[in-house]
Structure 1
């Protein structure tokens, strides 16, 4: 089969738009092929199954999402408390967009909760651990002891806020979680002195 090199990317992009907008189970392979402008046969040439395509959709989001968090955090220029608060504030801002549908990793994991070995669940788990690991490293570099524990607590606030903002359509939950994260960091810093 002689496809242009961007065919796979077009398929993943079409799948990403549909999966994020409508959900994994609501979207058919036929709809993805149509959106990508390819035949179903071409889609299956690039991906053995819909499961593989769902995993590819999340894999494509992994590094861009992590880099976005890192860029937001860097705006604080070394102030970890401010950096974490900025991440939550930027997510609250994003949640004001009518097309915002929460965290694609969490939504996919929720849809596939009865399939813990699904390749997309593994990608989602890896992504969340990667974000947590980066955050732990950033907090450690900022001088926090027990950075692993703090990073895990911030992740709990972050993912809890994603769920509540999606449920209530109120970005104030994200801002409140950011304040709670800043309070955690302040308390941890005061215990170290």
Structure 2
């Protein structure tokens, strides 16, 4: 029984994720999610008390897979630290060229919920961005970069800024330009670290 309940919940979240990402959270009704999931509205409300809870589950479901994807792109890139950081932007630019790409689900959701700072989805989105920043800071610290926390914050700003501008212009070249800027920042930080060490 528990397995059936879990799979139904997962089906609902997957349906919500598909619709919310494609159309935005406000444009999608609970009825539309239930229809996409192939369940009744009553069944949906059995698993989720509210649409807000469903929105939170949608972002929660994106958290670890997105972080893992960034880490994979970083890890698979051949080269030094600046090249590996730039690789994240290059891979995102490739994704952004797909016709179904709609930007960062976390940022788009937070924009739609701007008047509701206490919404659980806002907290999940903020935590996701902090996890990326913390991972970058740890990576830079391990490599001996100067001011790893500040460098990580700068990379996050370039990343999220490029999400916004690419969505606006539909030109993934902005993401690649942000990647080059990120690589330069990392290169400078590493050069400073090497200078101090010598």
Q: TM-score range by the shorter chain?
A: over 0.9
Q: After the TM superposition, which of the residue ranges 76-85 and 39-48 deviates more from structure 2?
A: 76-85
- Tell me how far apart the structure 2 counterparts of residues 55 and 110 of structure 1 sit (CA, whole Å): 14
SS in 2 for 1:6: helix
- Tell me how far apart the structure 2 counterparts of residues 7 and 190 of structure 1 sit (CA, whole Å): 53
The alignment yields a C-alpha RMSD, in angstroms, of 1.4
Matched, 1:40 2:41: yes
Equivalent residue, structure 1, for 2:57: 56
Asked if the contact 1:11/1:36 (under 8 Å) is kept, the reply is: yes
- Deviation at residue 139 of structure 1 after TM alignment: 1.2
Asked if the contact 1:103/1:162 (under 8 Å) is kept, the reply is: yes
- Deviation at residue 76 of structure 1 after TM alignment: 3.2
The residue correspondences of 1:2-81 to structure 2 (distance < 5 A) are 3-76=4-77, 79-81=80-82
- Tell me how far apart the structure 1 counterparts of residues 38 and 97 of structure 2 sit (CA, whole Å): 31
**TM-score scaled by length of structure 1:** 0.97
Equivalent residue, structure 2, for 1:156: 157
Asked if the contact 1:165/1:171 (under 8 Å) is kept, the reply is: yes
- Deviation at residue 186 of structure 1 after TM alignment: 1.2
- Tell me how far apart the structure 2 counterparts of residues 107 and 100 of structure 1 sit (CA, whole Å): 12
- Tell me how far apart the structure 2 counterparts of residues 84 and 45 of structure 1 sit (CA, whole Å): 43
1:87-107 alpha-carbon deviations (Å, 9 max, x no partner): 000000000000000000000
Asked if the contact 2:103/2:164 (under 8 Å) is kept, the reply is: yes
- Deviation at residue 140 of structure 1 after TM alignment: 1.2
- Tell me how far apart the structure 2 counterparts of residues 79 and 133 of structure 1 sit (CA, whole Å): 20
The residue correspondences of 1:73-112 to structure 2 (distance < 5 A) are 73-76=74-77, 79-112=80-113
Asked if the contact 1:80/1:138 (under 8 Å) is kept, the reply is: no
Equivalent residue, structure 2, for 1:134: 135
More helix by share: 2
1:57-99 alpha-carbon deviations (Å, 9 max, x no partner): 0000000000000011112357210111100000000000000
SS in 2 for 1:38: coil
- Tell me how far apart the structure 2 counterparts of residues 48 and 77 of structure 1 sit (CA, whole Å): 47
Task: Name the count of aligned residue pairs.
Answer: 193
Equivalent residue, structure 2, for 1:173: 174
- Deviation at residue 188 of structure 1 after TM alignment: 1.2
- Tell me how far apart the structure 1 counterparts of residues 107 and 90 of structure 2 sit (CA, whole Å): 19
**TM-score scaled by length of structure 2:** 0.94
- Tell me how far apart the structure 1 counterparts of residues 6 and 95 of structure 2 sit (CA, whole Å): 32
SS in 1 for 2:6: coil
Runs (5+) with no aligned partner, structure 1: none
